[in-house]
Amino acid sequence: MKIAMIGQKGMPATYGGVERHVHDLSVHLATLDYDVTTYNRAWYTGGKQKILDGVHLVYIPSIHTKYFDTISHVFFSTIHALFQHYDVIHYHSVGPALLAWIPKLFAPKTKVVITFHSIDRFHQKWGRIAQFVLRLGEYSANNFSDETITVSESLQNYCLDEFNHKTTYIPNAVELCKKPIMDKAIFEQFGIEPNKYITIVSRLIRHKGVHLLIDAFQELKKTSTNPEIQELKLVIIGDSAYKNNYTKTLHEQADSSDDIIFTGFQSGAILHQLMSYATTQVHPSLKEGLPITVLEAMALRTPILVSNIPEHLELIHDPNALFIQNDVSAITENLRNFFTLSFEERQNLVTQNVGTVFNQYTWDVVMPQIMQVYKPIQVATNKPMKQPHTQTA
């Protein structure tokens, strides 16, 4: 079966939850003998590799600006895909879904699948015109696809309420993995000590709430006499794909503190090191789909504290790990409370999280559900499907 992935920035994934999802999904499909092609933006990946882990990489130009990068890349990618005789074209996110009508009209034998990753129009970086266009993308995702996948139950309910459309709920997934052996050089590079910092892994855009965490961290350090807290640093892992005032504001906000470090985008071994040896990871986001960075922290056995938005509540239930969204004092108090927990209580948070990931959010759990979405085409082409291996905790 030939499958095209369109909408993501590229592969290999260096940042971005959608990019991480598409990268891992494509590789897992390739190991099961699917013929997978991802459409990539050269500015994101460098545009050199043609095959990665069995996945074919195609580079298509785009108009590399905030408002036209995605839609131009998806348009050119879709036109290219029409002539490649794919069995499935799989669009990712509601912006790219805006053009799903093209293969429906000009390649009716090709199955169109759309993954609804988040309600992008609610993100504060978009103006009214962009919000209207993204609303059209939501409509398209629910009306111009053969199958619509939603990555969280709250998104599934949203599509049912807004468009009277029953989508297929298939969550994001991660791999359970062991804590990596400490590489001290990585920590020296950023001027931090293992187990003596808080981290956040996020794009630097307003709805992720990084500014809230900076304020809460500064307040915590100012008002606490706990020696563990006084030794802490805040490590902000991520950046913005485009220049914006918000990123500048964050740096200005942190200027008065010498214990706040911006690492920029990180991936691979460096990211896993920084996440694995954090005292805790915090995710104060105001809007999400189903955040992969939260799942990764859970899988890496790093305690994570999250805002009480519906998508986080699908993953985490322990009140010790939750704080009221968009509330600096709530984040401060939650952090203060975390540092009063005993080692056993912190480990209990970790144990709950690992169990949640193992039971619901590993690729071994998710892949059969993805394969079921593709199954009608698979049966029609009469090709046997390999079954994914079974993972143990």
Give the strands of the sheet with 197-201, arranged side by side.
260-264, 233-237, 197-201, 280-283, 304-307, 322-323
- State whether 11 and 117 are in the same domain: yes
- State whether 315 and 169 are in the same domain: no
- State whether 112 and 207 are in the same domain: no
Domain with 334 in it: 184-359
- State whether 188 and 144 are in the same domain: no
- Whole-angstrom CA distances from 122 to 104, 165, 336 are 28, 20, 30
For residue 346, what are its two tokens? 């912190």
- State whether 265 and 197 are in the same domain: yes
Q: What pLDDT was estimated at residue 379?
A: 44
- State whether 209 and 137 are in the same domain: no
Angle, CA of 56, 59 and 63, to the nearest 5°? 150
CATH number for the domain that contains residue 91:
3.40.50.2000
pLDDT for 279-312, tens place per residue? Answer: 999 999 998 989 999 999 999 999 999 999 999 9
Query: Is the separation of the CB atoms in 55 and 36 below 8 Å?
Result: yes
Long-range CB pairs of 62-69, under 8 A, 24+ apart, other chains included: 65/242, 66/125, 66/242, 67/130, 69/41
- State whether 149 and 188 are in the same domain: no
- State whether 162 and 225 are in the same domain: no
Q: What pLDDT was estimated at residue 380?
A: 44
- State whether 377 and 347 are in the same domain: no
Note the pTM of the prediction, 2 decimals.
Answer: 0.90
Residue type, 236: I
- State whether 222 and 154 are in the same domain: no
Question: For the chain, how many structural domains are there in total?
Answer: 2
| Residues 312, 318, 324, 326, CA torsion sign | negative
Is residue 318 in some structural domain? yes
Residues 367/176/92/247 CA torsion (nearest 10 deg): 180
Is residue 390 in some structural domain? no
All residue ranges of the chain with pLDDT < 70 are 122-126, 376-393
Query: Is the separation of the CB atoms in 40 and 59 below 8 Å?
Result: yes
Is residue 178 in some structural domain? no
- State whether 90 and 225 are in the same domain: no
Q: What pLDDT was estimated at residue 247?
A: 93
Q: What pLDDT was estimated at residue 177?
A: 83
- State whether 71 and 30 are in the same domain: yes
Where b means 16+ CB within 10 Å and e means fewer, 74-105 reads bbbbbeebbeeebbbbbbbbbbbbbbbebbbe
